[in-house]
Each structure stands twice: as structure tokens, then as C-alpha cells.
Structure 1
Amino acid sequence: MSYTVNTLRNMTRSCEMMRDRVKAVVFKPDERKVLNITFGPTAAAELVGRTPEALAKAEKEGRLAPPKQLNNGRRYYTLEDLTHIRKALNIHPGKLAHENAVVVAVQNFKGGVGKSTITKHFADFLALNGYSVLVIDCDPQASTTTMFDIQPEALIDEEETLGNFLSPRSTFDDFRKAIRETAWPTIKIVPSSLGLQDAEWDLTATLTEGGQAVREGLQRLRIGIDSIINDFDVVLLDPPPAMGFLGLNVMAAATGMLIPVPARQLDYLSTIHFMDTIAENIEILEDHGTPVDYGFIRVVCSAYTPSKPGEADMWKMMKATYANFLLNQPILASEEIKNATQAFRSIYESKPSAAHATYQRCRDNLNAVFGEVLNEIHEQWPSKSISRRSSDTAGSVAA
């Protein structure tokens, strides 16, 4: 074995050992992440869309089980309790059973813009608010997979993976087999694996076959998602940072796009190229019989520090440039997010790392941002769309 190979393998082993030591500290005494999230009566009521008094009344009437209590008498609810409450009170925040999930790609080619962090936090936000979520990690770097406590290298010998499903060497077998459980009861994930890069090469090879082979290669992820499209409210795609066949599969499968752009000049300029490339590749998809029509495209300013003059100026420029396509709320840079992700968590799974007020500001900011995206998602479902109901009302009045 050469010096270079031996050195790289030794470094890999050292990194794996340190990673396991870090996870042992973070998740102890369990090997896997366990959610330890509880809610007081006010927070629980807000999440299910009722008042604390309404929950107390339902409990008194026997429609709900009483909340758990600590030794000091404090009442609390778990994440599972919220699910039971919604079911018992017939609260359905998501779509109707026959409606399709909204498939959102969190997309930008540039690294360091927060794609995986946003995907993880958005998934947790949706789950907290009662939505059923499938996360599909399409990035061979597997950052989102790792944050959901799945080790990509553990899937190397697995046959039921996204990489195997996407490979043109396989048949269109059951996509469900690649779906894994997470610590969140209403979040499932199709993790990234080491074989995903092989699938990219296999898909690229279909170019030599042309015609139907290329068309199937571009649509494999869409076909897989179509097989489970009614089972979830939202499907979140974390794409690779480059536009190869994997990226084209993501674009073909998505029905909405969220584009993270930090308020920095280089990121702003690179996004110009990104959007032009996206448009060109959509034309390529359509030329190969794969029509693409997104219900919404929104830009979110990520990791924003308003106290920095340069970023404040860029925020103004972004508002002037993107206008109605830019979310009203930027994602503020926060040590809380950084500390949480270093512990393989979102802030929705974490306790405050500093002052509680700082943690709450960060959480409130994310809630506001994701609330805007959730409104866009609702507009894709006829049963939830405010604009469609308004239009129907106007039509009835006009009639």
C-alpha cells in the first residue's frame, strides 16, 4: 500500500473514531438520537391550533388524556401527545388524502449557503406543526442524512437505497424500500449513501443510448416520488451542489423551489449564474419530454447579519432585485443554529446554548421564515389555498 493511500486511510479511521466519540457524547446513553422535547400547555395549544382552555375542556370531558406531570406539578406534553391530540380533535393541518404532496427543492449550486441546514430545520418545523414529511437527501456529501443520525457509510452494502433506485441498471422497483425512519414520528428520510455518486455516473452513461433511456434517466426520481406522493404532506429535496443527472432528477421531480442566498456579494453574483443555468436545464428537460412547472419559486436570504453594513446593503439590493420572489424575512445568522448543527441537531431539538431570549429570537425568526414557505405550500393544495377560495367566492358573488 502506498504512503498516500495508507495516510488517507489512517486519517479516515481517525475521523470516524472521533465522530463516534462526539456522537456518543451528544446522544448518550443511547446510540441513536432520541427526541427529548416537551411542551407546556400554552406551547402545545399553539402548535395544534387550539387554546389551552380548549385542551383543558377536552381533557375534562374525557376526549383527551390528561397531560403528564413533573414532581413539581408542572404539566407537559410530548411530541407523540401532540399527534394524539390532533387525531382525537380531528385537526388536519396538512392536505387532503387525495391531494399530492408538495415537493420542495432547497437548491443552490454554491456551497456554504445553508441548503442542508435549512432542509433539516424546515423538516423539523413542519413536523412540529403536524405535517407528514419525507426528506430525500440527493447530495453525495450526505450532510442532511448525518443530521438525521444515519451514517452514510453504513449503507454501503445495502441494496435498497436511493442510489440503487436511480441507477438505470435497476428496474423501477418499489421506491418505498429506500425510506427510513427518523427520531421524529412524522419525518421519514431517503438517506444519501456512498452509492449515490455511482448512480450519477450510471445516469450520465445513458446519454450514449439517447431517446427513451435518457428520458427515463431524467425522470427516475420523479417516478419514485409519484409512487408515494399521497402518503406525505411535503417532500423536501436536498440536491447536490452541481447540475449533473442527479441535479436534473431533482429539478424534474420538484414542484416548488426555495433558493438560499446569503447577503454577500459573491453569493449574490453566483446566484445569477445559478438561475440562468436552472433555466437552461429546464429547457433541456422539456426538450427530452420532461415538462417542469413549479408552483412557486422563492429566494430566502440566509445567514444574515443586519449589523454588518455590507450585508445590510446586499439585503436592500436583494429586495430590489428579487421583489416578490424574496421572502420577507431573512434567516438571521445565529450561534444557536451553529451550535445545534455541530451537535447533529436543529434548534427545534435543542436546548438554549446561551441566554433563553437569544434562543427564542432565533426560533421565532425561523418560524417566521418557514411560515412564509408554508403559505406557499398551502397554495398548492385546493383544500388549503386562500387565493383559490377567494377566487371561488368572488366568482359566486359575480354570478
Structure 2
Amino acid sequence: MDSHQTEKVALRAEKMLSALTEQIQLQKEELKENEYFQVYAKAAVAKFPKLTRANVDYAVSEMESSGYVFEKRAAGSSTKYAMTVQNIVDIYHHRGVPKYRDRHPEAMTLFVGNLKGGVSKTVSTVSLAHALRAHPHLLFEDLRVLVIDLDPQSSATMFLNHTRAVGLVETTSAQAMLQNVNREELLTEFIVPSVVPGVDVLPASIDDAFIASGWESLCAEHLPGQNPHAVLRENIIDKLKADYDFIFVDSGPHLDAFLKNAIAAADLLMTPIPPAQVDFHSTLKYLTRLPELVSIIEASGCPCRLQGNIGFMSKLSNKPDHKVCHSLAKEIFGGDMLDAALPRLDGFERCGESFDTVISANPATYVGSSEALKNARTAAEDFAKAVFDRIEFIRMN
């Protein structure tokens, strides 16, 4: 094989990647899209759970008199309130509404896993992370969400903070695991914010693939005496469990050390089930092998703490064969099948063009149909609320 030709292609690909990223970055800066677009009028906030018009007015005037500044926008000759997610969270806090962390002081770790590629694992994870934080009916919970990207393709990083998804990134999740850095370093040097405040990401990089392939020997060298399957849990998650309410792990569709670490660290598994025949078959194979994977991890001396495996349909459309697959999935999962699904909608696919999720994409500058984006956003919010309710049920019982 001509290595010179391979190098030329690699060089061109690198240039193209940098150019595309730079183009999107400039576009975001020009349109001021480096911050979350969603704001609410004061009247809209009054309709949120645990709030009324009177107590919102009272809270706002009290907060303003003590020096708090709310966002405001020009409306004709006057100005009106344009409340950000953080403003609303602060109103709830001012009113003494209990937060999620008051009920559950430690984070719950979720792993959306499937060994079949292209079944919406990453899209489900990032949409869920953003929707849990930004859902109007969950704002009073003030949820803090972290996504740990263990997939060397770094797709989750691209969706959440695309500036860390290209080039050489040394502060990745794999490096944090191997270097066993302390909590302060994790929070200040490794974890980066996404465009939705309250949702952070621990990035991945293409170089992490080499770490995954030599995991056993690297652990023996850098982490002598530590179980190779328990590194994610002990070196990252246990240090951050008081700083977040939900921690999502996104790994690639490979049966490698990162997948085993994700299973070993998870409190709850979520399995996306695509209705396409080939993908459905592959998902069944993964589910068949799952107990064996758990046994391998536990036999190594690392006890798993799984509280269940929740199935949900992904890429679902209103077709007869998809309905058949849906009923088959219900047969497999029984009561552990989520009613809400992530449908196959144009919005989920097109958002990636601007490195956005359906929650963070601004309808005013979105390239596709704003109606399609609205439908996808509603689907993501409904899905997130269903997942939240199921987690609450599991934690309470």
C-alpha cells in the first residue's frame, strides 16, 4: 500500500476538518449562538410548576431590590423580562423550593449502550442531557448533568462543545482515568461546559482509541493494584458524585475496556432499540451477551451496581414493520420498556450540521424547517420527562 498517498489523504482530511469547524465557529459567533437562546417572559414563568403570577412578581421584586439583575429585552418603547434558565432556577432557589440534590445527594450514573453502531446512542445521550436540564417542568429541580465521552469518535463532545472535538485534546476522559487526577483538576481542567448552562462534558479524542486497545498494560503501568474495570467509577465518578445529579456515559459500539468500564460504573443501563430488522437483530444479540459481560466484570473482583436495564425505541416511525418491532421489544423488556420513544425525525439528524442538539439549536437560525425542529424538541422533552419519572420510581423503590 502506498503510505505516501495515505498521508496525503490524512493531511487533506485534517485541513477539511479544521476548515469546517472554523466555519461553524465563526457562524455561531456572528449569530451570537455561543450561549443558550431560550428565554421566557415573566408571564410564561408564572405558569411553571410551583409558581404563580403573584409569587413570581414578589420574588422578582425582592431579588431586584437586593441587587440581582434579570435579563431584559427591548419590546417597542419599553423593555420586558427575558428570563434565562439560570434566572428561573434562581427564582425557585429564592423561594426555597427543594432541589433534586436535597432528595438525592449523590449522582445517578446512566449508560446508554448497544453494540450496534448508528442506533442513536449518542444522540439519545446528548438530547437527554440537554432536555433534562432545560425541560420547563424540571427547572425547579436545578439538575446538574455531566456527559462522560468515552467514544474516540468524540461525537458527544462535538454536540456539546465542538471546540474540543477536533485537534489534539490532552484533557480527555481516558487521560483523566489513567492519570487519576483529583476532583479539583477534573472540574477545572478536564470538564468543559456545553451551550446549555448546567450541562457539562468530559471530552474524548481520537487518540483515546489507542488507550482503549492497550488498556490492561496501561493500567498495570500507571495504576498498579487497581481493577482495570473499576477505573472509570473510582477515578472519575466517585469523585464527582456530589457535584452532579446525573452522569451519562457514552462509549463506542465496541466490546472494549471502555464499554466494560461504562457497565461497571453504571447504576442504570438504557438500551436504544432501533426497529430496522438488521439493527433489531444486533440489539437482541447485545442483550443476550449482557449477563456474560456483567459476569466477566464481577469475576475480576469489581462488583456491578446495576439497578436495571430500561429499553426504549429509537428511530421509530409510523410504519407497520416498526410497530411490529415495538411490540416485540415490549415482549422482551416487559414493564422495563419505556413508553416514550425517540422518533425518526428530520430535526435530530439536521442539528448535527451545526453541532447542536434539538434542545440547543436556535429556531431563528436553524437551517431546516422550524416546525420539524419544534417536533423533535417536543419529542426529546417528552422522552426526558419519561426517563426522569422512571428514574424517580426506581430510586424511590
TM-score of the superposed pair, with normalisation by structure 1? 0.84
Partner of 1:70 in structure 2? 74
Q: Write out per-residue CA displacement over residues 354-382 of structure 1, whole angstroms, 9 at most, x where no aligned residue.
A: 6665544333322222112112322455x
Distance 1:49 1:9, change over 3 A: farther
Over the aligned positions, Cα root-mean-square deviation in angstroms equals 2.8
Q: Write out per-residue CA displacement over residues 93-141 of structure 1, whole angstroms, 9 at most, x where no aligned residue.
A: 4122872100011111111111111111111112213201111001100
Q: Write out per-residue CA displacement over residues 234-257 of structure 1, whole angstroms, 9 at most, x where no aligned residue.
A: 101111211211111111111111
Q: Is the 8 A contact 2:155 2:165 kept in 1?
A: no
Letter in 1 for 2:354: A
Equivalents in 2 of 1:269, 1:180: separation in Å?
A: 37
Partner of 1:278 in structure 2? 290
**Structure 1 residue 184: Cα displacement:** 2.7
Distance 1:165 1:350, change over 3 A: closer
Q: Is the 8 A contact 1:139 1:192 kept in 2?
A: yes
Partner of 1:323 in structure 2? 334
| Matched residue SS, 1:122 | helix
Equivalents in 2 of 1:46, 1:125: separation in Å?
A: 19
Equivalents in 1 of 2:296, 2:226: separation in Å?
A: 11
Partner of 2:230 in structure 1? 219
Equivalents in 2 of 1:257, 1:346: separation in Å?
A: 22
Q: Is the 8 A contact 2:147 2:249 kept in 1?
A: yes
Partner of 2:271 in structure 1? 259
Of 377, 380, 396 in structure 2, the residue corresponding to residue 366 of structure 1 is: 380
| Matched residue SS, 2:249 | strand
Q: What is the correspondence of 1:42-57 to structure 2 with a 5 Å cutoff?
A: 43-45=44-46, 49-57=50-58
Letter in 2 for 1:109: L
Of 170, 190, 195 in structure 2, the residue corresponding to residue 178 of structure 1 is: 190
Letter in 1 for 2:125: T
Partner of 2:172 in structure 1? 161
Equivalents in 2 of 1:52, 1:365: separation in Å?
A: 28
Q: What is the correspondence of 1:345-384 to structure 2 with a 5 Å cutoff?
A: 345-352=356-363, 358-379=372-393, 381=395
Equivalents in 2 of 1:43, 1:347: separation in Å?
A: 21
* Residue identity (%): 19
Q: Write out per-residue CA displacement over residues 3-26 of structure 1, whole angstroms, 9 at most, x where no aligned residue.
A: 231233123312321332233224
Distance 1:278 1:39, change over 3 A: same
| Matched residue SS, 1:349 | coil
Q: Is the 8 A contact 1:119 1:236 kept in 2?
A: yes
Letter in 2 for 1:127: R
Distance 1:218 1:59, change over 3 A: same
1:242 maps onto 2:254 in alignment: yes
Aligned length: 375
**Structure 1 residue 298: Cα displacement:** 0.7
1:99 maps onto 2:99 in alignment: no
Q: Write out per-residue CA displacement over residues 81-103 of structure 1, whole angstroms, 9 at most, x where no aligned residue.
A: 12221221122341228721000
Q: Is the 8 A contact 1:215 1:290 kept in 2?
A: no
Runs of 5+ unmatched residues, structure 2 = none
Distance 1:364 1:161, change over 3 A: closer
Q: Write out per-residue CA displacement over residues 40-83 of structure 1, whole angstroms, 9 at most, x where no aligned residue.
A: 33543455642344313433566886773432355431122122
**Structure 1 residue 350: Cα displacement:** 2.3
Distance 1:23 1:131, change over 3 A: same
Q: Write out per-residue CA displacement over residues 284-318 of structure 1, whole angstroms, 9 at most, x where no aligned residue.
A: 11101111132232111012111x22212222222
Letter in 2 for 1:152: A
Q: Is the 8 A contact 1:142 1:152 kept in 2?
A: yes
Distance 1:221 1:363, change over 3 A: same
Distance 1:282 1:46, change over 3 A: farther
